Structures are given as structure tokens and as C-alpha cells.
Amino acid sequence: MSLAITACDTEPKKIKGMAADFTLKDLNGKDVSLSDFKGKVVMLDFWATWCPPCVKAVPELIALHEKYKADGFEVIGISMDHSVGDAKNFVKDKSIPYTVLMTSSRVEKQFGVVNIPVTFLIDRSGKVVKKHLGFAPGVGKQIEKEIRLLIENMPLDIEGSGR
């Protein structure tokens, strides 16, 4: 089981390599693949309803999704809850507009998920370019800068400030 953490990795490490494709079930049982979002900037957010920092991050994720979806940005929440019902109720209660999928141990291993919340930013070519571990107030501002650079097809440096 993953551990929930509240601290945030303030200097996330750059991750190299293409994101491994996967197919998971959404909250209605429909298969959704990462490759369905090809050509978009994607944020994968591994979370759970029982994780307080994950819950605190939801409003920022919704705001980012709403602000940048027209620019080719997608948030994909990957719920680590054991119950689809719990995840469904949470998504409905919080009015989460982005795609939410149920996790699998295979996908967790593919992305090296041990602690949550953890997010991965994937550029338009499908390359994982950033990993953010944990959540702290204000981290959304740093991630937003990175999203804007990726939308503009700009490279990220180690600190995420671009060129």
C-alpha cells in the first residue's frame, strides 16, 4: 500500500524516457489507454480518497484542467482506492471534470509509484519529463509554469523553469 505524504519535492527530478502505454478502467468500466491522449500534454496524478494531501490537491488540479484543456492539456487521475464506489462518490462530490481511472499494480510498477500523491508530466511526444512527489500549498504555481512550457513545446530544465 502506498504512503500518503504532505511534503513536496521542491526540486523534482527529471525523468527520462517514453511513458509506458497502459489501459485501465474508468469509473464506468470503460477501457481508457494513455495512448488515447497522444499529442496532448498529460498530467498523471496517482491519488486516493483516503489520502489527505491528495484531497487537498484536487481543487488545483481541477483549476489547471479547466484553464488549459483547450490548449491540449489533460489531467488523468489514477485512483488507488480499492473501491470503485468510493472513487465514484468522491469524483461526484468534488465535481471532478477530468478522466479518472482505477489503478493496477502493473501501472504502479511501470511508473515506480510508492508514495502518493505523485504526479507525472508527459509532453506531447509521450515522454515523461517531470515527477512531483507530495503536495504543498503553492506547488500548483510551479506545475502551471511547466504545463505552459510544455503546451508551447518548450523544453523543461531540471528546475522546471524552461530555457
Q: Which helix (H) or strand (E) holds 85?
A: helix 84-94
Question: Which is higher by pLDDT, 159 or 153?
Answer: 153
Instruction: Give the three cell numbers for residue 104.
Output: 493496477
Of the pLDDT bands very low, low, confident and very high (cuts 50, 70, 90), residue 158 is very low
State the pLDDT at residue 142: 85
pLDDT at 140: 80
3-state secondary structure of 42: strand
CA 162 to chain centre: 20
- Determine the average pLDDT of the residues in 128-135: 92
Compute the average pLDDT of residues 90-96. 97
Burial class (CB in 10 A: 0-12, 13-18, 19+), 7: exposed
The torsion defined by the Cα of 73, 124, 9 and 160, in degrees rounded to 10, comes to -100
For residue 127, pLDDT beyond 90: yes
The per-residue pLDDT for 16 is 62
List the catalytic residues: 54
3-state class (DSSP) for residue 122: strand
Compute the mean pLDDT over every residue in the chain, rounded to the nearest whole number. Answer: 87
Q: Please report the domains of the chain, with CATH numbers, ordered by start residue.
A: 20-151 (3.40.30.10)
- Condensed to tens digits (0 to 9), the pLDDT of residues 18-66 reads 999 999 999 999 999 999 999 999 999 999 999 999 999 999 999 999 9
CA dihedral 45, 51, 55, 60 (to 10 degrees): -40
Grid coordinates representing 45 are 496524478
